[in-house]
Amino acid sequence: MPLDSKTLCLGALDAGFNTGYDIRKAFENGPFQHYQSLSYGSIYPALNALLAEGLVTCRPHSQDGRPDKKVYTITEAGRSALRAALLQPLEFDRLRSGFMFALSFAHRMAPGELSRLLDDYIRGHYDLADELARIDGVTTPGDRFLIRMGADVCRAWGRWIEENRAALEHDIQAYRTARVPLRDGTHG
């Protein structure tokens, strides 16, 4: 099952993000950005539901010249609910990728276009691996494991594409040669 917004909010609260704004930032450019997303519009409804269920508490925090902000804290019942949700069978990760969709039409691309697509994707994976490797201040063993895993997987994807791109280009050429040209000059 996929993780719902309430579970994601509980996890963010447990990790120390205690306002709606902080939770949003944790998923936009914080520790969760690379493996989960949480829309801004779902955060406050989730927090309100968690509050009604007694899984979080909320207290106002005054700010000079601005409205009070709400500071949320996960309760012990919330931590138990978080653990229970994380132990449920999780949805298997699905690869949804514009790159993969584009590659299914690689036979429609000119060689230079395909080469550019592959180069950009390889470079993007190496850049992401480098970005992950530069993350510091990570304190939990799980986060350290995820960062190392993410960096290694990105490098592996880049290497695999580098090592196999010639076979793809060869297969596309063979496919084009075997197919009858269409009126627009492309092959079907």
Tens digits of per-residue pLDDT, 21-36? 999 999 998 888 888 8
Query: What SS3 class is residue 181?
Result: strand
In the block, tokens 């994601």 appear at: 8
Q: Would the pLDDT of 183 be above 80?
A: no
Tens digits of per-residue pLDDT, 70-128? 999 999 999 999 999 999 988 887 777 889 999 999 999 988 999 999 999 999 999 99
Work out whether strand 66-74 and strand 56-63 pair parallel, antiparallel, or are unpaired: antiparallel
What pLDDT does 160 receive? 97
- List the beta strands (DSSP E) in 4-125: 56-63, 66-74
Alpha carbons 45 and 161: distance in angstroms, whole number: 42
The arithmetic mean of pLDDT across residues 157-176, rounded, is 92
Alpha carbons 149 and 145: distance in angstroms, whole number: 6
What pLDDT does 152 receive? 96
Q: Would the pLDDT of 68 be above 80?
A: yes
What pLDDT does 154 receive? 95
Compute the mean pLDDT over every residue in the chain, rounded to the nearest whole number.
90
Instruction: List phi, psi (to 5°) of 29.
Output: -145, 25
